[in-house]
Structure 1
């Protein structure tokens, strides 16, 4: 595994750039995440463990069916699964977005777990921070804060670092069936990073996840990548 996409996407319905991407990852047990995955998807073990990821990013250069859309901040909580065809993918448990229209449209169209959130971002020198809190009272006002110090580029990421960041599909339950949505982007230029601050104010619990009593095992940063998302398909029934 070298972090390069294994397939092309001949037809995509959206393009976007992800910038100032911060990856925090915690090991967990497969039985913690298995009940939270959609039908037809099992935990994908990386380095012998299931993982919980919290990822902050700036969504820029977004186009929907060729129509430009304004930039916004996003923070997501994600798990990792493998479907019956052996395809690895991301399963999102939360997708916090600073744009209420995009959040509502994505929930309706693909059932993605977007929530409108008040979000803050800062990048000063080697420090990058994200903070989010849900806006609507019925959403529980959950949020997180995280801040990292960006280090040197990683010339040869480990196989685990590649497997946790280079994901070429997402799995999502959609009005009954589970969909696989292909994702394409160049290999990440990953940097080491050090955690300076982490505070979870109920966001992990809102995803059905237990508290994380220790710092993340993996903290990484990537300056940018360009992403294409293809047309979804149903998982095979086998």
Structure 2
């Protein structure tokens, strides 16, 4: 079927190798929740730009919702500035590739709590950022030692006419371990390439970090309209849920690919 390709032919390990390129930015990510729903690829195809294919695992596409917090975001050679460098974010995503190569991420939306960060990302990278009011509370560690409970609430403020909210309460519930190559978890979280469209052209950006220190997560509350705002019908089945405490990330210069 046009627009889809067997996942068996795609090299998913090569993007995990640190590229020999110029680093342009550093970021720290904390208390990430990876929620994923399995969806029919036909539902996403109209939402993906020309030049990209919906990436599949066992014949299914996946939509992800990821809340987290960022600190220490700064370009190389410029010190971190808290109003821009520290903020909370939630993104809605799926996974794509280009004709069987370069498997990466396509963002439907990104909501962040910093107006300056939103303006910078929209202007410099063409990313669909929205300004949001976000409450992010890290509660004390559980007696199990597996990690804290996170209480997260979001209300989109601007731009755009489509309102969106999100309220999630989550906590890790298993020991830490990396995702194994070939598993669904690896397919979902070990993503190091990002696609954007800017001035009608397709661009590819790269990041690098160690493998995710992944844990299974328990979600005790989930009320959100972010997927609906992105014109995605959320499945009735509960999502897959994974947690990662933190990650240090290098961001590399973008390249035009079409």
Q: What is the TM-score when the length of structure 2 is the normalising length? A: 0.84
Shift in Å, 1:137: 7.5
Equivalent residue, structure 1, for 2:228: 205
Shift in Å, 1:88: 0.6
Equivalent residue, structure 2, for 1:133: 155
Alignment partner of 1:10: what SS?
Answer: coil
Shift in Å, 1:157: 2.9
Confirm or deny that 1:91 pairs with 2:106.
yes
What is the aligned counterpart of 1:61 among 65, 68, 72? 72
Shift in Å, 1:2: 7.2
Confirm or deny that 1:167 pairs with 2:179.
no
Q: Deviations over 1:34-55 (max 9, x none)?
A: 1111221101112331000000
Equivalent residue, structure 2, for 1:233: 255
Q: Deviations over 1:89-108 (max 9, x none)?
A: 10011100000111012112
Is contact 2:178-2:214 (8 Å) kept? Answer: no
Give, in whole Å, the separation in 2 of the partners of 1:11 and 1:112.
21
Is contact 1:38-1:171 (8 Å) kept? Answer: no
What is the aligned counterpart of 2:117 among 102, 118, 123? 102
Q: Which runs of 4+ in 1 moved over 6 A?
A: 1-4
Alignment partner of 1:112: what SS?
Answer: coil
Equivalent residue, structure 2, for 1:194: 218
Is contact 1:2-1:162 (8 Å) kept? Answer: no
Q: Which of the pair has the greater relative contact order for Cα pairs under 8 Å at 6+ separation?
A: 1
Equivalent residue, structure 2, for 1:113: 128
Give, in whole Å, the separation in 2 of the partners of 1:82 and 1:92.
13
Give, in whole Å, the separation in 2 of the partners of 1:148 and 1:172.
30
Q: Which has the larger radius of gyration?
A: 2
Q: How many aligned positions are there?
A: 234
5+ long unaligned stretches in structure 2: 1-11, 142-147
